[in-house]
Structure 1
């Protein structure tokens, strides 16, 4: 797995720490409780805010009676649209970095109700228990508008769809049509068409959203501990709204107990906590309940129509993929859903469409592998169905329609080892032993089925910065404002820094999650390793250049006259590449220089030429075994092999953990997850952990992860592609396909619950 870094300094392979399964340095703090999350900071003299939600979907607040609440000893204030201060934000569409098009929801801005569970008031009291009780007796009267709609099917039937606008960063409109897909479909030897559906799914990270604002008593200076996937994004959001300078609104997020996309945007508790702290000139904490977490966005309910056709041999003749998704009344949340079909498979005749419909729900949000998880379920299920129609093995069908270039952009891939994922995954799984006939394999009363699916995800990079300081005692400290929501950022950045300067990993520390550090993008899109990792490499190279200059100033320096590109950093030494006997210890360089420390700051950004010339993606192939009880209809996923090609693997332990998590989520999406929306009430009815089903240990069996070796010196300086999203793709479809192989019944509506099989 290990390989040398693509850019200088050259590193000897025997000193590599990149590619090794090194454990997380923050692990002991997490398991011992020493790691503090947003709601755990012990701020002195803290007050507590509790949010009051709207019980109606649509309408208007007509009266708020807070007299009984304010009469309670210890209650400090009740904030609502009647008494919040006026902000420029209320008059202009200030947005965060990842906001979709439209006008963002602004808590307590006006009496209008836009969705169920909308925050309508904030009660602040001296204790959490008092704030919660006070919120329960707050009297609010509403004028209810019964003319609401939370039903996407109803909006579709009424012709309410519209082409999704480009207003969101990262959203790619559907590819342009090629040939005549409808004509080719009608003329083809084999064809299938189907509707593929999943309803709203919610993120449900373990840590609920919370913000602790410490009032520092110096003007408007605040220290904000927030649950987020991007401290700089929250700081920018807060600074714009409240007119604060960066030195007045320091945001800290050292640990995040899962986000999965729900923390990409600043959530409304951070606005409410900061507002209350500024108004009351006091430290305030606002925490959400598990039920309130269901008002922060979700994977949007999406209906997809897929039409595929092939010739007698199984070569695709046409691809049509259309998606119809929900958004809120006030924003246009978009996902890249249908494009993946055109990237994965070649056809001379293709047609794609993506429409939105505005309904009375909160704005959906990015959720692990947004768009791709939705689109891959539909296309990979349809490909499987067509393979049966054509009489071709599902794996052979995919190999037959494999493409070595990106058909949607007519670009070569920077690298693509999906074909190796197919072969290595199939070999490990034992796919060649599969009986192709549905309902052909049994174990007693259990029907056994095998299925597969594949996926691809953008291998992107964002601009990021880092700073580094090497002290005279040989300790290297590297810092960036990036986040770690559990992906392993702490350890992989430590590894990159240690290898770049050839230092023992014990002498390296990486700090993150603080806006006092150099700016970094939100942690999402599987781009953190590429973006922040490249910045860490760059800043350590700057330290290396300074060390080389100091070494060359030493008396009788063995490195005199050597350029930086011609030295390597390994085992705590600087050595000439062509003659490693010309060496000097870094500790000696620092001692001779008399400097207390060597510091640098640097940044990294994508190569625009490469991004224009190449299509950059990670790929995977998932192979699944299911066992279905013939009488009860219960489904057990007993075995999964997930083969992933994601460039250079910085740490196989944390990368494997990411793919395991993605695979588990694929199982969850296929068999369990659905937020039940009562369209008569416009409200999610299972907004809790007891009824919103997610896997537990007993649901998960053997998962085998394979990393296919892949070198890519075009995608970024480190040659890495993210693994956060790719591991989830293809899994849900593979399960649905395996269920068909086991039972002979094709289910296109997720989740695959018992009632759909009986």
Structure 2
């Protein structure tokens, strides 16, 4: 059981450990997920995806399938309802993959080309697998590598600063006593939450109702309204329980297909994706190539920092994996350059995935910092402390709080870092070489405008309504505690209802901004409610309700750099006979603002760190160049950390007050993975003396890495 170091606590509920308010319902099976809810006359849709990487659909031979038992319809580009895919939504223009069946164009393998709907899911699947689709196939290109032809720097946008530059990079590199110039790569990775994507659509009383598994019910409702040219008030989306999302559960083809079929058949239709379909239909983390150049004085003080990141995107929609962004916050230098570049290929569009940009970017930058420390003969933690910025290295803004060095001090103490011999390849237990490594972590801490309604009920309880999404983070419980403290009542007197678009606009569960944004809205509503209650008088049977809107208040956050920070530590053992790498222990210490619920916060940190083990050693989606499709698109061929791969993982935090922030909360859902892979890779170097710059660190790569000790056993 972890202890908490200096955890912020109050006399109320916030800061104390609480089990999830919906925990009993989940473990007993009473909680209903998107594919669990019963509907009268429910039909089932099964998506048919393209088997070619580029071309056009010549024909969909639906007649034989329509004659099969239970089949109700086959939708394709020749008969599907028309949608408007040319709109600007919450996060910009949509990926064209959601405008299903609008033409015969096939831009990648796994592109939706048809939907078979039947009375039962078994009938739908059998018919979908029997559906013959003929293509006019065209040549394709899916090869991704550094600096390949067609690579370009994207334009700036509100969500992307493509390039930053200050100082004379080449001059500072030339004047540096020590230089690191290396290329790092990360592979394609996939979300694959425990609950697959699922949606049920129906028309009821002139309104479109969708029960879905998503990261923002209002977000999805707004996008569907735009796609189908509907009055936003006529669309309702609910998503009460979600079994994980990690960035992939926005608007996806399965929801659109369900709405199309429900519209055509005038009955509820459910579409659930398979694991194989999730490899192409819901996004993924793009592979990256990253060149990092560091120039420093002999003592390790940075003179130059150059981070150039490249990722792939589809030919139909641009997505930028902002891997170079992490250096804009972490380290200053006299010359500082970061840039993102993309190359369009015949592939599905990537998307946000837990700690987008920071996860792969931290592997490259924090590995390069470790290489610099080695060349300078400086302890990796000391090197980082010598390059600790006073203000934002690029923005020049003051930090709202920055306690990364406190994380390193506490982590070093608990991990036993002071006893570490910095020389690599010296510690051995039998056939195992042992090593330790560390890395820094950071992730932005923002907030977005949100609304919340709080009702004082006649029976003395309170009801909170907000379009928040609990994707496993414990947000429902955190909001209960925040509301209880603001109302100065016990948590059992507060009922929090979430994930219903009828509750009004609210931030999505993404960007580590959800709980902070929602908590702010709830606290604002409570303040206004208490003002009304202070006037006295009885509460009427319908209660007294106040609705808040934080649109104006959150704008003030832009005046400072607001980030969570952390320090990752790892110990590994490397088998000299097989090349296997085992993580023996991990410790993460974080500075993440006010911790609302230590129980679920600890779970979030440990979950991210565990994913870091997968990222470092296991995860790698492989694409066949000839077909453009994935090799082994399932959870047998796509490896990730199993129970036996996960050692003792400890997570804790230090005090991280933000004096001018009315909420004090920072996001914790994503920072746990940041730096974790780098800490493991740095530990592998310490164990073997060989640097691994390409993830994952597979046994074959270890054996072929050139270590004489490993090769000879």
Question: So what's the TM-score if we normalise by structure 2?
Answer: 0.95
Show the counterpart of 2:301.
315
Rounded to whole Å, the distance in 2 between the matches of 1:343 and 1:647 is: 17
1:613 aligns with 2:602: no
Structure 2 partner of 1:579: none
Which residue, 155, 159, 165 being the options, matches 2:149? 159
Q: CA deviation at 1:63?
A: 1.4
Residue aligned with 2:275, SS: coil
In 1: Cα distance, 2:298 partner to 2:148 partner: 39
Displacement of 1:3 after TM fit? 5.4
Deviation at 1:608, TM superposition (A): 5.8
| CA–CA distance in structure 2, aligned partners of residues 606 and 364 of structure 1 | 33
Q: Corresponding residue for 1:749?
A: 694
The CA distance in 1 between the partners of 2:482 and 2:213, in whole Å, is: 26
Residue 679 in structure 1 maps to residue 672 in structure 2: no
Out of 142, 159, 178, the position equivalent to 1:150 is 142
Contact map agreement 2:97 2:111 (CA 8 A) in 1: no
In structure 2, distance between residues paired with 1:601 and 1:243: 28
Partner of 1:124: 117
- Bigger shift: residues 622-631 or 609-618: 609-618
What is the CA distance between 1:100 and its match in structure 2?
5.5
- The match for 1:470 is 456
What is the rounded CA distance, in whole Å, between the counterparts of 1:242 and 1:504 in structure 2?
44
Q: Distance in 2 between matches of 1:195 and 1:55?
A: 34
Corresponding position of 1:561: none
Deviations 1:210-242 (A, max 9, x none): 1111332x34x2321011111111111111122
Aligned partners of 1:246 and 1:614: how far apart in 2? Answer: 35
In 2: Cα distance, 1:65 partner to 1:159 partner: 39
Partner Cα distance (2:389, 2:552) in 1: 25
CA shift at 1:95, angstroms? 4.2
Report the Cα distance in structure 1 between the residues aligned to 2:471 and 2:98, rounded to whole angstroms: 25
CA distance in structure 1 between the aligned counterparts of 2:419 and 2:596, rounded to whole angstroms: 34
Q: Distance in 1 between matches of 2:238 and 2:559?
A: 38
> Are positions 1:238 and 2:227 aligned together?
no
- Indicate the residue corresponding to 2:391 in structure 1: 405
Q: How many Å separate the matches in 2 of 1:743 and 1:734?
A: 14
SS of the aligned residue for 1:549 comes to: coil
Q: Which residue of structure 2 aligns with residue 141 of structure 1?
A: 134
Q: Deviations over 1:645-695 (max 9, x none)?
A: 011111111111100011001111000111011111101112111111111
Residues 69, 123 of structure 2: 8 Å contact kept: no
Residue 279 of structure 1 and its aligned partner are, at CA, apart by 1.2
Instruction: Confirm whether residue 631 of structure 1 aligns to residue 621 of structure 2.
Output: no
Counterparts of 1:262 and 1:538 in 2: how far apart (Å)? 30
Whole-Å separation in 2 of the counterparts to 1:475 and 1:363:
47
Residue pair 1:95, 1:104 contacting (<8 A) in 2 also: no
Instruction: Go from structure 1 to structure 2 and tell me whether the alpha carbon gap of 1:594 and 1:299 turns closer, same or farther (over 3 Å shift).
Output: closer
Q: What is the CA–CA distance in structure 1 between the aligned matches of 2:159 and 2:97, rounded to whole Å?
A: 18
> Hey, what does 1:356 align to over in structure 2?
342
Equivalent of 1:326 in 295, 306, 312: 312
In structure 2, the residue matched to 1:198 is: 186
The within-5 A match list for 1:351-750 is 351-550=337-536, 590=538, 597-605=543-551, 607=553, 610-714=556-660, 716-750=661-695
C-alpha change, 1:203 and 1:3, in structure 2 (3 Å) is closer
Structure 1, unaligned stretches of length 5 or more?
5-12, 554-589
For 2:174 and 2:91, the matched residues in 1 are separated by 42
The answer (yes or no) to whether the contact 2:97–2:112 under 8 Å persists in 1 is: no
Checking the alignment, whether the CA contact within 8 Å between 1:461 and 1:606 is kept in structure 2 is no
Structure 1 match to 2:711: none
How big is each residue's C-alpha offset from its partner over 1:545-579, in whole Å with a ceiling of 9 and x where there is no partner? 111111xx6xxxxxxxxxxxxxxxxxxxxxxxxxx
Counterpart among 149, 162, 165 of residue 173 in structure 1: 162
Is 1:210 the counterpart of 2:206? The answer is: no
RMSD after superposition:
1.6
Measured at CA, do residues 668 and 99 of structure 1 come closer, stay the same or move farther in structure 2, by a change above 3 Å? farther
Deviations 1:168-192 (A, max 9, x none): x5323332x2221122212321111
Q: Distance in 1 between matches of 2:632 and 2:95?
A: 29
Match of 1:77 in 2: 73
CA distance in 2, matches of 1:325, 1:157: 10
Matched, 1:106 2:96: no
Q: For this pair of structures, how many residues does the alignment match?
A: 697
State the SS of the aligned residue for 1:121.
strand
**Which residue of structure 2 lines up, in the alignment, with residue 251 of structure 1?**
237
Pairwise CA distance, 1:138:
1.2
Cα deviation 1:300-330 (Å, max 9, x = unaligned): 1110001112111111121111011101001
Partner of 1:48: 44
Q: State whether residues 300 and 378 of structure 2, in contact with CA within 8 Å, keep that contact through their aligned partners in structure 1.
A: yes
> Aligned with 1:442: secondary structure?
strand
Contact 2:98 2:252 (C-alpha < 8 Å) held by counterparts: no
